[in-house]
Amino acid sequence: MSSYERTGWRDASISERHRHWGFNCPAVDLDFVMMEYNHGRPCSLVEYKHQNAAQPNTNHATYRALVALANGYADGPLPCFIAIYNPDVWAFRVIPLNDTAHKHYAHCKGIWLTEQRFVRSLHLLRKAVLSSEDSAAINALNVKIPEIIEDGTSCARNGCRTLR
């Protein structure tokens, strides 16, 4: 059974109808899942979540299903991860969901990445060497991360640090 539409901007009618299909027909509306791809081939599955969204339970059946989809790709497992984003400074924190994502993001577990650093990591999922065009696009992006206060929450509205 699907969850109730909470935001109002999606088509609530399909969510409502799906609930009539029964308890043993589960479905979930993920926040914003994207498939990163290159030349028509998938590179990763990413669920983008706003920093103010509820902390994801990565053991939930929803994420287990997403990981199973990523791990079942015929050419080998795709990185599957959650990208928490802060739109005040466009910084990202990655939560790897499978081994492939853990390997790609081993250097930055739990830390906020600048937009430049995060987007560079997305490019490197596609290819080993960045073109000068890729580098120029990346260099035009933000280099800020949110300030972190003692309880671990971000405090972007109170100032940002600039990192490369």
The model's pTM: 0.80
pLDDT at site 157: 38
pLDDT at site 121: 94
Q: Write out the E strands in the chain.
A: 33-38, 41-50, 80-86, 91-96, 112-113, 144-146, 160-162
Domain residue ranges in the chain: 1-30, 31-162
pLDDT at site 147: 80
Residues of the chain with pLDDT under 50: 1-2, 149-150, 153-164
pLDDT at site 29: 72
pLDDT at site 155: 42
Q: Match 């990202």 to its residue by tokens.
A: 92
pLDDT tens column, 45-91: 999 999 999 999 999 999 999 999 999 999 999 999 999 999 999 99
